[in-house]
Amino acid sequence: MAPSHSMVAVTGLGLVTPAGSGADAVWEHFLGAAPTARPDPELLGLNVDFSCRVADFDPPALLGGRLARRLDRFSQLAVVAARQAVADAGLDPAHWDGTRVGVVLGVSATSVQTHVVEYGRLAAGRADRISPLMIPRSIPNMAAGEVSLDLGALGPGLVVSTACASGTSALALGSDLIRAGTCDLVLAGGTDSARSAMTCVGFDRLGALSRRRHDPAGASRPFDADRDGFVLGEGAGVLLLERTDHARARGARVRGYLAGHGAGGDAHHFTAPHPGGDGLARAVRAALADAGLAPEEIGHVNAHGTGTTLNDPAEAAALRQVFRRPPPVTANKSVIGHTMGAAGAIEAALTVLALQQRLVPPTANLDRLDDAIGLDVVTKAPRPVDAPSALSVSCGFGGQNAAVVLTAA
């Protein structure tokens, strides 16, 4: 597909997930749809004692001991994913004009662990033992700040927080920085590590988490009739967005294009989605209009697909509003759980890979489709899809919905 003036090139992908690290490894894992949820020692003794963790993640080896100690886990994940995206794009920060490089990351829950540890010291009367790094380690904007420091990105450095839509919102803002001519390159995506006991208890008290302790691997089951909540995850996804003419001038490999984006609010409830999916439907229509595409031109949808009793039917209703006959749908959280602020970015990266490979990865754990869903959900095996355009959608507490349209190169 020839790029239009409004399309933004995706020239690099960085992924650090419970399904592996690096675009190629993560893609291969998703084709096999092997869930990654397992017992989590940090959650021992809680009602929910399992999560989807990034395994074999060694921050001192990847970042050096000094930098690893300075960064909270959500920032560690972001820096590693950003480095991957830059390398994947064939760029060298030593030779770019840093003033033309921006960083926009979505963050929802950060890591929380730092606050828990330091508040514990305060409660114990040990204020003198609180780390002077507590604030710079834990505030959300440091994900973008540390990536900028690490790579010498001197343009805008921003963090977006729209709950679990944050990663998708960051892609939209990063795309706008390119379109406006503010940046030639933007590292856009999301990062979070929401596996702390406090986060787990909080979501469990809301009734949002699966309690399938007898079968953690089967706990994340979007659109399944037996779903009972989502599974906590962690990870980071960073896409290197680039002006199309800039990419062409340097002979870059283009993985795909971010062709359009949209957002829509529910104004319905502080945590529950609009039951008819109205806000998400508006976000999808806006993204399609921005991309200049009709609904029937979308070949597949990467769903938000949390596996909660309220989200899945609301999301399905939104898609049925927009599409006369909804295209095939996949739900990546079935494999890696809910990575919060990183989810939309990881899912968008996987959508780019699906367009490249003309193959939609299956949804895990879908044994019996809920009759209320009414969607064609890809399951059991990858499905070939030739259409050059796809949609990735995200929803968040506060009724915040975001969508991006991605197209093949």
Per-residue model confidence (pLDDT) at position 70: 94
Q: What is the mean pLDDT of residues 202-216?
A: 97
Query: Model's pTM, two decimal places?
Result: 0.97
Kind of pairing, strands 256-265 and 400-408? antiparallel
- CA 390, CA 295: separation in Å to the nearest integer? 10
- CA 394, CA 250: separation in Å to the nearest integer? 33
Q: Yes or no: say if 52 and 382 are a contact pair by the CB < 8 Å rule.
A: no
Distances (CA, A) of 375 to 16, 94, 123, 249: 29, 48, 50, 42
Flag the least confident range among 15-24, 128-137, 153-162.
Answer: 128-137
**Per-residue pLDDT tens digits for 305-324:** 999 999 999 999 999 999 99
Q: Yes or no: say if 394 and 304 are a contact pair by the CB < 8 Å rule.
A: yes
Flag the least confident range among 85-94, 192-201, 272-281, 355-364.
Answer: 192-201
Q: Which amino acid is at 32?
A: G
HSE, CB side, 13 Å, CA atoms: give it for residue 108. Answer: 34
Can you tell me which residue has the tokens 């590590």? 193
Kind of pairing, strands 50-51 and 38-39? antiparallel
Can you read off the two tokens belonging to residue 117? 């540890």
Q: Is 360 exposed, middle or buried (0-12, 13-18, 19+ CB in 10 A)?
A: buried
Q: Is the confidence at residue 287, as pLDDT, over 80? A: yes
Per-residue confidence at 109, pLDDT binned at 50, 70, 90? confident
Per-residue confidence at 110, pLDDT binned at 50, 70, 90? confident
Q: Which amino acid is at 244?
A: T
Catalytic residues: 164, 304, 338
**Arithmetic mean of pLDDT over the chain:** 96
Distances (CA, A) of 236 to 43, 140, 213, 346: 21, 14, 26, 7
Per-residue DSSP letter, 93: G
Q: What is the mean pLDDT of residues 186-202?
A: 95
3-class state of residue 98 by DSSP? helix
Q: Is the confidence at residue 86, as pLDDT, over 80? A: yes
- CA 113, CA 223: separation in Å to the nearest integer? 31
Can you read off the two tokens belonging to residue 150? 């690490």
* DSSP assignments along 145-203, one per residue: HHHHHHHT--S-EEEE-BTBTHHHHHHHHHHHHHHTTS-SEEEEEEEEE--SHHHHHHH
**Per-residue pLDDT tens digits for 41-61:** 999 999 999 999 999 999 999
Per-residue model confidence (pLDDT) at position 54: 97
Of 390, 339, 340, the C-alpha closest to 361 is 390
Kind and range of the H or E run holding 351: helix 343-357
Q: For the chain, give the percent of residues with pLDDT over 90.
A: 94
* DSSP assignments along 267-302, one per residue: -S-SSSPPTT-HHHHHHHHHHHHHHT--GGG--EEE
Q: Is the confidence at residue 1, as pLDDT, over 60? A: no
**Per-residue pLDDT tens digits for 225-273:** 999 999 999 999 999 999 999 999 999 999 999 999 999 999 999 999 9
Of 261, 366, 258, 362, the C-alpha closest to 302 is 362
Per-residue model confidence (pLDDT) at position 5: 58
